[in-house]
Amino acid sequence: MAGQVSRILGSFYVFLICIVTADGLTVKPEIVLEKNVWVSGEDAEISEYRTPIMIQAPNGDVLAFAGARKTSHGDASAKVITMRRSKDLGINWGPSVFVVDDYMNRDGLNLGNIIVDEQTSSIIIIYSFCIHNACDPSKYYPTNFKKVSFDNGYTWAESVDLAEKSPFFKGWNWAPGPGYGIQKKIAPNVGRLLSCGHVVANATYGAMTCIYSDDHGDTWNKSEMLVFLPNNMKKNIGDFTPGEPQILELSNGRLLINARNEHYFHSKNRLIFYSDDGGKTFPLSKLRVDEALIEPRCNANTLLHQGVMFFSNPASTTSRVNMTLRWSLDEGISWTGSLVVYSNNSEYSCLSPIDDNHVGLLFEKDNYKEMYFVKIKF
């Protein structure tokens, strides 16, 4: 009898974690590789590695980026954007290289979004500068820069101030990401580049918004801003303050943003926004709170790959612990299962395709002591 019960429970467990999609795809995520990509203190110039971003370059290489902080983990500390490359699907990683250096500026760069433009085979980094108003105003102003590579990240052009051709950036305290940006592949607006972030203002004002480009990042426009509510008042628990958004494109061309719920509007869950006009607007009438995705006020990431939507964050309502991968077979309407990647302290994360059967997860681990990579088969 005991053996029969054990077999029944075992079969039920397999049913829970092994789901078959309508086209016959079996989804059973499991970790197959783990690697330290960066360890804080291993480079004398770097105090901590933060804000992970990971993308797959046009040639298939996997590129990991971090906003490495020189003196502390504070958002306004001096930083570099550093990168490592894997040519073998995450098994080995090349040396760390500095892509951008703010040279100990008091309120330097913040990473940011990274976009792969498949039409031009380019990689575009979007990062902010001086957005905390701590720079010397006689020398600098808040703005955003782009840095572009046309050879899969081996070389990079000089950084360009986006305010040169899109003047609204000058003096604008807008922080993209952190996470990846996208290029639309499905109508409407095929080829459009989008980068999403939030306005860093003060305790009374702020907004979430995206920028978009229809000329491969040469010029940019602003989407309609979702202003924090109540406006021009100090924010309290329960107020509407979406931040650190991750955008992706659904199979019908609709855009989805999964955003941090900074003051727990409605509940301690993620905020979901939709756009049906190519990212020009994300109407509040289409906002929903995903009650399956709990959060402790932290960055998270989401990815649609091979028909499966993945989501990563510290799955807790109280503290940044329990890095968890969830997956959905209906583009985020419901979540089929979950996999605990690391149960202890874990913070920001980013997901990336690795190949048709694997995704990668890069995340901050153990109070920023490590930037950790896991490869997941599904």
Q: Tell me which long-range contacts 257-261 makes (C-beta under 8 A, separation of at least 24).
A: 257/196, 257/208, 257/210, 257/282, 258/290, 258/293, 258/300, 258/302, 258/311, 258/332, 259/208, 260/295, 260/297, 260/298, 260/299, 260/300, 261/289, 261/295, 261/297
Both tokens of 221, joined, read: 């426009």
- Domains of the chain (ranges, CATH numbers): 29-377 (2.120.10.10)
- Residue-by-residue pLDDT tens, the chain, 378 positions: 444 434 333 433 333 334 444 455 678 999 999 999 999 989 888 999 999 999 999 999 999 999 999 987 777 778 999 999 999 999 999 999 999 998 878 788 999 999 999 999 999 999 999 998 888 888 999 999 999 999 999 999 999 999 999 999 999 999 999 999 999 999 999 999 999 999 988 889 999 999 999 999 999 999 999 999 999 999 999 999 999 999 999 999 999 999 999 999 999 999 999 999 999 999 999 999 999 999 999 999 999 999 999 999 999 999 999 999 999 999 999 999 999 999 999 999 999 999 999 999 999 999 999 999 999 999
The rounded distance, in Å, linking the Cα atoms of 308 and 327 is 7
| pLDDT value at residue 23 | 54
| pLDDT value at residue 26 | 76
DSSP string for 47-60:
SEEEEEEEEE-TTS
